[in-house]
Amino acid sequence: MTKIVFVSDFFVDEVRGGAELCNEALIGLLSERYSVEKIKSAHITPQFILSNQGAFFIVANFFMLAEGFKRLLKDRIKYVILEHDHKYVRSNNPSLYKDFLAPETQLINKTFYKSAIAVMCQSKKHASVVQKNLLLNNIVSLSGNIWTEEQLQVLEKNLDTPKTIKHALLDSNNKNKGMPAAIDFCNSRNINYELLHAQPFESFITNLAQVENLVFFPQWLETYSRLAIEARILGCKLITNNLIGAASEEYFQLKGRELLEYIAANNTILMKKWFNVIEGDQPEYYGDATLPSVTIFCPIYNSRQYIEGFLEDMSQQTIFNSCELIIINANSPDAEFENKVIEEFSKTHSNVKYRVLDYRATVMETENMALKMARGEFFAQACVDDRHSPHYLETLSKHLYHSTGIDLVYADCYQTTVSNETFENNSSNGNFYEHSRNKFSKENMIKCLPGPMPMWRRTIHQKVGYFNEDLAHAGDWDMFLRMVDSGYKFKKVDVPLGLYYYNTDGLSTSKEYAGTRTGEEASVFFTYKHVFGEKNYNKYESYFRQFLKGNENGTEKVSSHAI
């Protein structure tokens, strides 16, 4: 007989919360088919893990499970995670963040989740939130909880209870259950209410059945919410928010006996999902975490000393095989060497498009060529002498895809003066490229925030046109300002994702081009002075005016080559 080891912080004899009730009901049904041993996460030892290597572990709540034991489980044990409390986020509350998308610095336990046979989520909404944060392909949406036969009988017995309590709310010291918010709601509307105290299940249901309106404002995303389902079975009207996972299920529209019969029948469906996972059958995964296609563009000229390192850097990207890389050679004197390296790389990477020009094109020209060649939904800039975190493309595309109303994403880059260092091993000492330091706002665009390696939606160009090819140095700043001026929004991702090489011979840094560069920047500054705001304009106006050529009024518009 297969042995199941069920791990949790607490069990129902200590805490009678929704998670513990759910766990206990599941354990009861699993025990009819398997040998089940319960163990608290705080009691796990290396010896226990090693002596149970042949068992199947179900890891529910694991706040008290030491990091070393997580690694040992990952390496030695077949396990699934029964996800209750958003333990992939430091705050355990993804609803703190817009779109339920946590900052990268808030994500934890990523490897532990990824290494599980399956992550069992309570509802479709729960599954979607876990997936967008961790980009997992091993999620199973249970789309329900298990109620015991005894609990179902208690619910049925109370179906026709008269409503004698107009409004009630949950009496709970658990800040996540939102008792203060429910009280504020009632007080602001002069609603008299009664409190539903914690009691054994039968007594609690008897009281809940008398309630006409249940005021319930959870303060974090309820992965499911047994309370909400029980309230609807008993004919209570829910006054609530958008943080109830069970509301994402089609059957949540049911109520009364119809809903009771559904969740009773759903026990069989849920157990089949569990049997499939435990017994090695193909789990019914929620769906893959595929992100939209990305085009990476890199222009090259005199890139002999960088091209091999750049291609190695790209090949290490976690999603590189699902991207396309466009490289345009602007008639480089090193073309023979560059061609050979790129052609050799292309033998094992069919997603490379390489174009060699017979004239010295500007970066803005090559950028426009690449945009017209691109097939990716997202477009990413990459310089041949910069290097990237292996998660650069994945992380930026994740936030671009899952962030509502965001059209361009960027992140901090470390800065080095030593060529061909790597993101993991460099001499930056944690120093960042200056321009991308600030979060996005129109005023902060006084610096070219997107920096050297942003990613944006390619459809933007249908509205704003392409890069201005008359600008050899300030064309990127001009383009990104044009985007902002047209109403597009940017987002800064909160982790460093690149290594910027401060190349003293580069177009944006060389003293040779200083005059032309500052003149272009001045022209862009005066064109978009309304974007920066009056304070920034007054602060920098005298600085930029000294570089303007042929326009004493500072009102010259940058010529547009939008297509």
Give the list of residues 6+ apart from residue 21 with CB closer than 8 angstroms, or none. Answer: 12, 201, 226
Q: What is the CB neighbour count within 10 angstroms for residue 307?
A: 24
**Closest alpha carbon to 318 in 297, 352, 290, 288:** 290
Residue 228 identity: A
Strands, sheet with 324-329, edge to edge from the N-terminal-most edge strand: 352-356, 324-329, 294-300, 378-381, 455-457, 408-416, 490-501, 387-388
In eight-state DSSP terms, residue 74 is H
What is each CA distance from 403 to 398, 407, 443, in whole angstroms? Answer: 8, 9, 21
**Rounded-to-integer distance, Cα 361 and Cα 355, Å:** 12
CA distance 247 to 244: 6
Is residue 392 a contact partner of residue 498, using CB atoms and an 8 Å limit? Answer: yes
Please, what are the domains in the chain? 3-141 (3.40.50), 149-256 (3.40.50.2000), 294-506 (3.90.550.10)
Residue 99's alpha-carbon distances to 219, 247, 259, 385, in angstroms, are: 15, 17, 29, 35
Name the residue among 53, 85, 68 with its Cα closest to residue 220.
Answer: 85
CA-based nearest residue to 363, from 311, 300, 447: 300
Neighbours of 176 (CB within 10 A): 16
Is 260 buried (19+), middle (13-18) or exposed (0-12) by CB count in 10 A? buried
Q: 35: which strand partners? A: 3
Report how far residue 196's alpha carbon sits from residue 209's, in angstroms, rounded to the nearest whole number.
11
Cβ atoms of residues 112 and 81 within 8 Å: yes
Question: In this predicted structure, what is the pLDDT of residue 514?
Answer: 52
* Residue 193, Ramachandran bin (φ over 0: left; ψ between -120 and 50: alpha; else beta): beta
State the Cα angle at 395 between 492 and 391, rounded to 5°. Answer: 125
Tokens matching residue 430: 């944690």
Q: Check residue 436 and give its pLDDT.
A: 94
pLDDT of residue 508: 54
Tell me: the pLDDT tens digits for 348-367? 999 999 999 999 999 999 99
- Residue 516, token pair as written in the block: 């032309």
What is the phi/psi pair of residue 59, to 5°?
-100, 110
Question: Residue 231: helix, strand or coil by DSSP?
Answer: helix
Q: pTM (2 decimals)?
A: 0.92
The pLDDT tens digits along the chain (563 residues) read 799 999 999 998 898 788 898 999 999 999 999 999 999 999 999 999 999 999 999 999 999 999 999 999 999 999 999 999 899 999 999 999 999 999 999 999 999 999 999 999 999 999 999 999 999 999 999 999 999 999 999 999 999 999 999 999 999 998 889 999 999 999 999 999 999 999 999 999 999 999 999 999 999 999 999 999 999 999 999 999 999 999 999 999 999 999 999 999 999 999 999 999 999 888 889 988 999 999 999 999 999 999 999 999 999 999 999 999 999 999 999 999 999 999 999 999 999 999 999 999 999 999 999 999 999 999 999 999 999 999 999 999 999 999 999 999 999 999 999 999 999 999 999 999 999 999 999 999 999 999 999 999 999 999 999 999 999 889 999 999 999 999 999 999 999 999 999 987 655 554 544 557 788 999 999 999 999 999 999 999 999 998 876 544 444 433 332 22
CA distances to 330, 419, 433, 448 from 428, in Å: 30, 11, 10, 21
Dist. CA 232–CA 159, nearest whole Å: 10
pLDDT value of residue 505: 63
Structure tokens, 112: 């532990």
All residues at 6 or more sequence positions from 507 whose CB lies less than 8 Å from its CB, including other chains: 363, 472, 473, 513, 517
Give the CA distances from residue 336 to residues 268, 307, 315, 332, in Å, rounded to whole numbers and listed in that order.
Answer: 66, 12, 22, 9
Under a CB-based contact definition with an 8 Å cutoff, are residues 499 and 423 in contact?
yes
- Helix (H), strand (E), coil (C) string for 482-543: HHHHCCCCEEEEEEEEEEEECCCCCCCCCHHHHHHHHHHHHHHHHHCHHHHCHHHHHHHHHH
Decide: helix, strand or coil at residue 77: coil
> What pLDDT score does 515 carry?
54
Q: What is the pLDDT of residue 507?
A: 52
Cβ–Cβ < 8 Å for 402, 389? no
Q: How far apart are CA 52 and CA 334, in angstroms?
A: 61
Spatial neighbors of 9 by CB under 8 A, at least 6 apart, are 40, 41, 42, 60, 61, 62, 63, 64
**Most distant CA atoms of the chain, gap in Å:** 88
For residue 158, give the amino acid letter: N
Residues in CB range of 459: below 8 A, 6 or more apart: 377
Residue 331 tokens read as 């008639």
